[in-house]
Amino acid sequence: MAAITSVKPGTVIRPPARKGRWTPYLLLLPGMLWLVVFFVVPTISLASQSLQTGSVDEGYVLTWNFQIYVDAVRQYLPHFTRSIGYAASATLLSLVLGYPLAYFMAQKAGRWKNVLLVLVIAPFFTNFLIRTLAWQIILTDTGWVTTFARWSHLTSALQWVGLTNNDQLMSSKFAVICGLTYNFLPFMVLPLYANLERLDHRLVEAAGDLYASAFETFRRVVWPLSLPGVVAGTLLTFIPAAGDFINSRLLGNTQTVMVGQVIDGQFLRVLDYPIAAALSFILMMTIVILVGLYVRRAGTEELV
């Protein structure tokens, strides 16, 4: 101990070696490695595949065939716009259905909160495919849903706006959007719930105190404060919905084919790998650009 008090003049006091300097990098390593092996390498391989020519039997050669992207867009533009349109509709519908549900669960449900939360997650206990097949039964022509829709002239209304082609509900745009909404609704509800649960109820009271009606309070306080949850929910719904290939196949018809379904077919049935890879790449870039624009516009970084 005496050494501390009697440091000789001129002694260089070295700072203690910074031991944990490499710890952050070590902690990053497993995740980075995973992403490199299962994301970066496959993406490069996908990009390279799209620029190759040849066939499965004769093998592929990289020929930098950029023309394939022009062909892909020219041939499959309707499928792209359809995918984006369906995904956007399903996202909007999920928001309209999910927001009140999440708000109720977070602010009003009290001790039923956890039960409701489990109910929201419950569909995940069943396989995605099975759940979508169940919608075939729900919307079947002889089912009570269709019967009711016909009785209430909902079928006529849907036909009139072009969501169905005849007086059936199955095999239509309507059925595909319903399936997408149903399958991705929990991805909307959960982030919204997490956000709205943190909403300080005293801010709602303060808004009321400052002459804001219930609607104005929602518009000026609750909604802007919940935007991070809305952004997270819409992204988690829109991105997988845009690439989905099950709902359109099981619930749609030949006029509702989405780009995911085309990619699936080109890869696994037609075995035209370059066009499938090019379509995948275009879809990926489209989503990245749309999401980028959306997040910039929503300006989430300004929110707390």
Partner 1 sequence: MVDDTSGDLRLTGITKSYESFTAVDELDLTIPQGSFFALLGPSGCGKTTTLRMVAGLEEPTSGAIHIGNTDITNTKAYQRNVNTVFQSYALFPHLNIVDNVAFGLRRRGVKDHQAKAMEALELVELDGSARKKPGQLSGGMQQRVALARAIVNRPDVLLLDEPLGALDLKLRRQMQIELKRIQSEVGLTFVHVTHDQEEAMTMADTIAVMDGGRLQQVGDPATLYENPSSTFVANFLGQSNLLSATVIRVDNGSAVLDVRGVKLLIPPGLLPVGEKKVWLGVRPEKLRLVDGPLEGLNTLPGVVTDASFTGVATHYLVKMPWGQELTAVQQNDGMPRALTGATVTLAWDPHHGFALDASQDAHAGEDIEDIEAS
Which helix (H) or strand (E) segment holds residue 163: the answer is none
Residue span binding partner 1 (CB under 8 A) among the ranges 11-19, 217-225, 235-243, 255-263: 217-225
Residue span binding partner 1 (CB under 8 A) among the ranges 65-73, 108-116, 157-165, 195-203: 195-203
Nearer to partner 1, 119 or 214 (CB): 214
Residue 203 contacts partner 1 per CB under 8 A: yes
CB-based burial label for 102 (10 Å; 0-12, 13-18, 19+)? buried
How many residues touch partner 1 under the rule CB under 8 A: the total is 19
CB-based burial label for 167 (10 Å; 0-12, 13-18, 19+)? middle
Residue 202 contacts partner 1 per CB under 8 A: yes
| Three-state SS letters, 34-96 | HHHHHHHHHHHHHHHHHCEEEECCCEEEECCCCHHHHHHHHHHHHHHHHHHHHHHHHHHHHHH
- Closest contact distance (angstroms) between CB of 99 and partner 1 is 17
Query: 111: Cβ–Cβ under 8 A, 6 or more apart, which residues?
Result: none
Classify strands 59-62 and 52-55 as parallel, antiparallel or unpaired: antiparallel
What is the distance between the alpha carbons of residues 219 and 216, in angstroms, rounded to a whole number?
Answer: 5
What is the distance between the alpha carbons of residues 230 and 219, in angstroms, rounded to a whole number?
Answer: 14
- Closest contact distance (angstroms) between CB of 205 and partner 1 is 5
Residue from the set 209, 268, 269, 297 that interacts with partner 1 by CB under 8 A: 209
User: Which tokens in the block code for residue 251?
Assistant: 């619930």
Residue from the set 149, 180, 225, 262 that interacts with partner 1 by CB under 8 A: 225
- Closest contact distance (angstroms) between CB of 203 and partner 1 is 5
Residue 212 contacts partner 1 per CB under 8 A: yes
Residue span binding partner 1 (CB under 8 A) among the ranges 80-88, 176-184, 188-196, 208-216: 208-216
Residue 299 contacts partner 1 per CB under 8 A: no
Where does this chain bind partner 1 (CB under 8 A)? 200, 202-203, 205-213, 216, 220-221, 224-225, 303-304
